[in-house]
Chain A
Amino acid sequence: MKGSVVQTLILSDWNRHRFFIMLSIFGGVLALGLVAWGGELPTILGSTWFFVSLIVLGCMMPVSNVINERKKQTLPFLMSLPISVAQYTLAKIVSTFGMFLVPWLSLVVAGGLLIVGRQNIPDGIITVLLILAGFTLVGFCVVAGVAIATESESWTIVATIALNSSYGFGWYVLIRNRELRTGFGNADPVWSPTVLTILLSEAAIVAVVLALTFFVQSRKRDFI
């Protein structure tokens, strides 16, 4: 037996999606470049573009790596290999999450460095960056979880629409909260209980969605 089949499948998914991953990072960096340029319009355009690239990446990756597997009938090919349903699920979760997390993390770190490095941007905005980036991570996890568990394009589209609609609501809640709003303009990041609660809630949702995805998959009796 050569290496691990799960590892091979993860690497093959990375290999197939490498251009898409690079394109996402390039789009995000370009957006951050606009923010770095300064001025009201480029900053607004750049920050919007930045989050849109994270959202698009979060929606497209599960569709491309999971839903298309069934839709384009490559799933029987993969399941002819010496892997179990649980191993396939593990491979898909690790590759899909990895392919999202690497560009996501790169862009979030790049965004953080930009905020810290630019004198005209208050460091307090880092909490906004983390909270909003956390939204996109939760959104990705839900879409990926639904895609893996249901293997249904329709349900994945429903989850995507629901998540995309909720971003506006989340943004609205952030803006309306006085404590958060005040902290955003601060020279230093304010790690208030509200900020920490939001970030921990996002992390908890990610953990629950992952656990649920494994649970649902483990109960399936018919896989193809």
Chain B
Amino acid sequence: MMDLVIKLDGVRKKYRFFSLDNICLELPPGQIMGLIGPNGAGKSTTIRILMGLVHQDGGDVRVLGHRMPQEQVSAKWDIGFASDDMRLYEAMTLEWHMNLIRSIYPKWDAAYAQLLLKRFGLRAEQRIKEFSHGQRVKATLLLVFARRPRLLILDEPTTGLDPVARHEILRELTGVMADEGRSILFSSHNTQDVEQISDQITFIDRGRIIDSMDKEVYLDRWRRLRLEVPAGIELPALPGIIHVRQQGRLAIATSNVFAPDLANAYENTGARVQSIETMTLEEIFVANVEHSREEVDA
């Protein structure tokens, strides 16, 4: 059996106004997993548990084969972690930070660091407080990438970046994966970024994982059916249809396990299928979250 890079099993964490409930997650080596959730869904808490910075109340957490949080020191030698609330020392230069990281990590790749300096348009001798927000994010990621970690854990790394900076960072992330042994867990509420680079997608909402599978499977399974419903015809509740919105004679049905039979089933009731549309990851995400909330509230 392939060793998993990340394995969360039944992880629980309770706060006063929020709790993570039975989080189960698996990331095989060489994969990029996008963790998508609205604000306050539990992405950062999950990631902090993965890093050993927050102790779970229950459940098992293993990262690169190490039990967390007990073996966080061993695990962190091979993890590159960056989050949107992470800052470098403002008064110090990027070069100072590079020297600090180089003195800690034997695998520090000085040539790659120089290459990233050029690609990101950064000056090592510049102080962090003189950088723009985008440059600070790039500087942080440079320090993470040049360690050559086996696992990258990135918590909202592209938040607040302009499209060009986002593109540069996503391109570099894809480049990191040129080495097949590397893996990335990448949280965001920006579905475009996740869709662009992820192999697997996990949706999280209100402290629960609501769905987790290959990106292509998501895109393949989810469909939106535009229907024309003649007067007197009532649309049946079909398996695989998670949501139907009807206004007058027009209806939109959303399916999370689409098969051509579904269209036939609607046609058999007297409705006419006007179109079957693929959905973007953002549309799938929103539909998934709404469906999950309806189920929980029901």
Contacts and interface: CB of A to CB of B under 8 A. Distances in A.
Interface in A42-74: 72-74
Contacts of A76: 53, 81, 83, 85-87
Given A2-B106, A8-B100, A224-B53, A80 B82 contact: yes
Nearest to B48: A224
A147 B70 CA distance: 25
Contact of B100 (A12, A79, A87): A12
Given A80-B76, A82-B73, A73 B54 contact: no
B53 A79 contact: yes
A223 interface: yes
A77 B72 contact: no
A5 B76 CA distance: 12
A41 interface: no
A79 B50 CA distance: 12
A80 B85 contact: no
B103 A3 contact: yes
A178 interface: no
B185 interface: no
A1 B9 CA distance: 30
A15 B91 CA distance: 12
Contact of A84 (B72, B81, B86): B72
Contact of B104 (A81, A221, A224): A81
B292 interface: no
A77 B53 contact: no
A76 to B, nearest CB: 4
Contacts of A84: 52, 72-73
A82 B80 CA distance: 10
B86 A73 contact: yes
Interface string A194-224: 0000000000000000000000000001111
A118 interface: no
Contacts of B105: 2
B89 A16 contact: yes
A131 B106 CA distance: 47
Given A84-B52, A223-B53, 19 more contacts: A2-B103, A8-B100, A16-B89, A73-B87, A74-B86, A74-B89, A76-B85, A76-B87, A77-B86, A77-B140, A80-B76, A80-B80, A80-B81, A81-B76, A82-B77, A82-B104, A84-B73, A222-B48, A222-B54
Interface of A: 1-3, 5, 8, 12, 15-16, 72-74, 76-77, 79-84, 87, 221-224
9 closest Cβ pairs, A-B complex: A80-B81, A73-B87, A82-B76, A76-B86, A221-B55, A224-B53, A222-B54, A82-B77, A223-B53
29 contacts: A1-B106, A2-B103, A2-B104, A2-B105, A3-B103, A5-B104, A8-B100, A15-B96, A16-B91, A72-B87, A72-B89, A74-B87, A76-B53, A76-B83, A76-B87, A77-B86, A80-B80, A80-B81, A80-B82, A80-B86, A81-B104, A82-B73, A82-B76, A84-B52, A87-B73, A222-B48, A222-B53, A223-B53, A224-B48
Interface of B: 48, 51-55, 72-74, 76-77, 79-83, 85-92, 96, 100, 103-106, 140, 144
